[in-house]
Amino acid sequence: MGSEGRSWSGVGAAAGSGAEAKATTAVVSAAAPAEIPTSSASVDISMPLPEMSPHIIRLCKELLQGWSSLDSSCFSIETVSGGITNLLLKVSVKEDTGNESSVTVRLYGPNTDLVIDRKRELQAIPYLSAAGFGARLLGIFENGVVQSFINARTLSPADMREPRIAAEIARELHRFHQVDIPGSKEPQLWNDIFKFLKKASALKFEDTTKQERYETISFREIQDEVKELKDLSDLLHAPVVYAHNDLLSGNLMLNDLEAKLYFIDFEYGSYSYRGYDIANHFNEYAGFDCDYNLYPDKDVQYHFFRNYLQPDRPNEAHDLEALYVETNTFRLASHIYWALWALIQAKVSPIDFDYLGYFFLRYGECKKQMDSCLSLVQSFLSGLRNG
């Protein structure tokens, strides 16, 4: 999305580039950070869609000036996804011209504020949006946001690993990491991990089987491992960037016709280490079956690094080794982050998913990779010391 047309005009304002622009040109334009319409309304996410629809329509009419005088019969609403954390709706209206315009309405899932810093997310979205990333923010309400609808397909894990697409993701990530978000530039990774650790280590489950499984976890051991990893990674002085932190296939959309790639969903975005963002993305090569054998080998990583470091002339990229070491150190941090996240979810999420099992999977993978990752960084650091 570009920074062009920064307020909801309701009539033919220029939207962002690419397919999304096509889908929404008639009514949508991006809002400047200070101008984004807000509403104090909230919508009960547990309502069935037919019951929820009049509330959603009222909300859209309140927030989207161009739709305010439309009759409710012009609206149609469908569910795009009931993702792990949110409910995402597509709201469309038929205009007099016969064109259809669509937006998305995202309702935050219950308890998601325990793992997502909404203030941080809402602060960043307008700037990311102005730099051309994600769906444009059109309105904010008490428990969600209205955004432009992106007309593109969601990537699968296999797409993401395809060399041509991987190169495009790397180039786009290079651009993403250059966005400046006002405010503190302190990396948040370790703060977030320690916050998760504190919450995750103080849980109590009513279900006795769950409680027994939970009690097998040694938080003292995790704490020591996190500390060791933090101290070691600090020695790398890794570049800090505004990181997406959740670049899984479901957060990558591609319009094939326009060859336009979209990064979406900035819920976990924060200032962090570039190598963390890349490692977290590589961990997602594991796909829905969580097959961590699909983690990219060195050649595949270097292909990504070349396009990330030198998008215009990938073959001239240098400092690949440093990025390789950073990435494969933060690979462990990514496992720990999502392992602890899953423990908190196991307690608070209404979704019927084996989050405890996911904790053991991610933490187990971290343990498995620990020795080789730590010796990689140690030998790199001793190489630097010895000149």
Ligand X SMILES: Nc1ncnc2c1ncn2[C@@H]1O[C@H](COP(=O)(O)OP(=O)(O)OP(=O)(O)O)[C@@H](O)[C@H]1O
Residue whose tokens read 């040109």: 25
CB-nearer residue toward ligand X: 229 or 264: 264
Stretch that binds ligand X, among 11-19, 77-85, 117-125, 283-291 (CB under 6 A): 77-85
x-or-dash pattern for ligand X, window 99-128, by CB under 6 A?
-----x-x----------------------
Residues touching ligand X, count (CB under 6 A) = 17
CB-nearer residue toward ligand X: 49 or 84: 84
360-381 as b/e: b if 16+ CB within 10 A: bbbbebbeebeeebbebbeebe
Binding of residue 85 to ligand X (CB under 6 A): yes
Stretch that binds ligand X, among 36-44, 82-90, 162-170, 315-323 (CB under 6 A): 82-90
Identify residues 245-284 at the interface with ligand X (CB under 6 A): 250, 264-265
DSSP E strand stretches across the chain? 75-81, 86-94, 100-108, 137-141, 144-148, 153-154, 240-243, 252-255, 260-263, 270-273
- Strands of the 144-148 sheet, one edge to the other: 75-81, 86-94, 100-108, 144-148, 137-141
Q: How many other C-beta atoms lie within 10 A of the C-beta of residue 210?
A: 17
For ligand X, the binding residue among 14, 41, 45, 80 (CB under 6 A) is 80
CB of residue 18 to ligand X, shortest distance in Å: 12
Binding of residue 287 to ligand X (CB under 6 A): no
CB of residue 250 to ligand X, shortest distance in Å: 4
CB of residue 36 to ligand X, shortest distance in Å: 15
Q: Are 103 and 149 in contact (CB under 8 A)?
A: yes
Binding of residue 83 to ligand X (CB under 6 A): yes
CB of residue 33 to ligand X, shortest distance in Å: 19
For ligand X, the binding residue among 81, 92, 111, 201 (CB under 6 A) is 81
CB of residue 265 to ligand X, shortest distance in Å: 4
Q: Which residue is nearest to ligand X (CB)?
A: 83
CB of residue 206 to ligand X, shortest distance in Å: 25
Identify residues 150-169 at the interface with ligand X (CB under 6 A): 150, 154
Stretch that binds ligand X, among 46-54, 147-155, 161-169, 236-244 (CB under 6 A): 147-155
Q: Helix 163-176 crosses helix 298-309 at what angle (to 10 degrees)? A: 40
How far is the C-alpha of 269 from the C-alpha of 178, rounded, in Å?
A: 13
Q: What is the CB-side half-sphere exposure of residue 251 using CA atoms within 13 A?
A: 21
Stretch that binds ligand X, among 79-87, 177-185, 197-205, 293-301 (CB under 6 A): 79-87
**Backbone φ and ψ of 107, nearest 5°:** -105, 125
Q: Are 108 and 144 in contact (CB under 8 A)?
A: yes
How far is the C-alpha of 266 from the C-alpha of 284, rounded, in Å?
A: 16
Stretch that binds ligand X, among 53-61, 144-152, 292-300, 368-376 (CB under 6 A): 144-152
Nearest CA-CA partner of 23 in 260, 250, 265: 260
For ligand X, the binding residue among 41, 45, 88, 179 (CB under 6 A) is 88
Nearest CA-CA partner of 173 in 184, 182, 165: 165
DSSP string, 275-327: HHHHHHHHHGGGTTTT-GGGS--HHHHHHHHHHHH-SS-GGG---HHHHHHHH
Stretch that binds ligand X, among 48-56, 80-88, 176-184, 235-243 (CB under 6 A): 80-88
* CA distances from residue 127 to 21, 193, 277 in whole angstroms, order as listed: 18, 25, 19
- Please state whether 155 falls in left (phi above 0), alpha (psi between -120 and 50) or beta: beta
Identify residues 339-368 at the interface with ligand X (CB under 6 A): none
Stretch that binds ligand X, among 84-92, 235-243, 278-286, 319-327 (CB under 6 A): 84-92
Contact residues: ligand X, CB under 6 A: 80-81, 83-86, 88, 104, 106, 135, 147, 149-150, 154, 250, 264-265
